[in-house]
Amino acid sequence: MKKIGLYLHIPFCSSKCPYCDFYSMRSDDALREEYVAALIKNIRFSAEQYCCKADTLYIGGGTPSVLGKEKLYKIVCEAVSAFDVKDEITVECNPHGIEDGFFERLCEAGVNRISLGLQSANDAERKRLGRRADSEEITRVISSAKRAGINNISLDVMLGIPDSTPESLKATLDYCIDSDVTHISGYILKLEENTPFYKMRERLNLPDEDSVCDMYFFMCEYLSENGFSQYEISNFSKPGFESRHNLKYWNCDEYLGLGPSAHSFIGGERFFYPDSISDYLSAPAAEYEGRGGDFEEYVMLRLRLSEGIKEKEALNRFGISLDALRKKAERFADEGLLLCDTEGIRLTRKGFLLSNTVISELIY
């Protein structure tokens, strides 16, 4: 039986960043205690219900590191034993306020990958984003993770930060390269409604569309020159260090997400736990979204990957040839947005930036 990906959501942050619309809140120790207990119960129950193994575990948030090393240790151990996870175990961390011995303890539980929210190497830019760690602290955290034996480290970088410039982006990328990490995620800032940034959008000195595009192309180019190959729209890695967990989303493979706002795709069904910690604490009840994993979803998700969709796989998994899609794709190919050949269809870098438009044209 194919192994699934297990995702655990930790909906706590010590403070809310002004651009973020993910489900998270502040917490005290009692609430964290209660949540960990509920999550562990949910892990055990789900393991019995689905009776499957997982090869990746990803603890995301919010900010999982606010739980502290002992609670995370407990959760990881529970999940590992319930789903027999052996391969990739990632924990997202905010570099600010990491306690002594944190990574050692995680390592003991089996954690072998860390994802750190760097966003920018420029202290002023990070401050604008509400991030509290300074670069010294981040550097310290990275080396302490490595000292603990966790060498598979991913850094999140953000493009289009207010007041940012191509120079500041280059400095951030240099920082990542010099830190000798294995993986970099580079996202473009998007103003989500109901965030403080959205409300103050008129007053933010955001780089214009053209320069953000140029920065994106620069990032792709520069990282590849420095040994990071782009395997997804926003993700770059040293060879063999792609995020196996995240690849499951884009490959349309199965995953189980536990915790409020976590999403699942398992047994052909999509469902999620609603954004309510109180409901989750009293009795976790998933909401069903219906069947998933059809050809359209596959196209939508796989086109985010550099290798795109493959003729062979489409035939094997869905019994659908790509001929019809190729025809639709023609005009985008003419514009240099994607590449079509006998093997399959994939977006170019130019196409990545217009992926929403191209994909929606292709599948609807």
> Is residue 237 within a helix (H) or strand (E), and if so which, with residue range?
strand 235-237
Does 90 engage in binding with another protein (CB under 8 A)?
Answer: no
* 155 touches another protein by CB under 8 A: no
- Binding-site member from 24, 94, 154, 264 for another protein (CB under 8 A): 264
- Does the footprint of another protein cover residue 355 (CB under 8 A)? yes
Residue at 339: amino acid letter? L
Candidates 76, 155, 213, 303: give the one binding another protein (CB under 8 A): 213
Pick between residue 95 and residue 351 the one whose CB is nearest to another protein: 351
The DSSP code sequence of 276-338 is -HHHHHH---PEEEEE---HHHHHHHHTTBTT-EEHHHHHHHH---SHHHHHHHHHHHHTTSE
Find out whether 269 and 288 touch, Cβ atoms under 8 Å: yes
The 272-311 contact track toward another protein, x by CB under 8 A, reads x----------------x--x----x--xx--x-------
Binding residues with another protein: total (CB under 8 A): 48
Nearer to another protein, 135 or 195 (CB): 195
If one asks whether residue 357 binds another protein (CB under 8 A), the answer comes out as yes
Residue recorded with tokens 């002023």:
124
In whole angstroms, what is the distance from residue 341 CA to residue 324 CA?
Answer: 13
Ordered strands of the 54-61 beta sheet: 229-232, 235-237, 183-188, 152-159, 113-119, 88-93, 54-61, 4-10, 255-258, 263-266, 269-272, 287-291
Residue entry with tokens 């190497």: 121
Range 9-38, binding another protein (CB under 8 A): none
Based on the shown chain and the rule CB under 8 A, indicate whether residue 325 belongs to the binding site for another protein: no
Shortest Å, Cβ 9 to another protein? 8
Q: Report the SS3 class of residue 183.
A: strand
Residues that bind another protein (CB under 8 A): 7, 60, 185, 187-190, 192, 209-210, 212-213, 216, 233-234, 246, 249, 255, 257, 262-265, 270, 272, 289, 292, 297, 300-301, 304, 331-332, 335, 337, 350, 352-361, 363-364
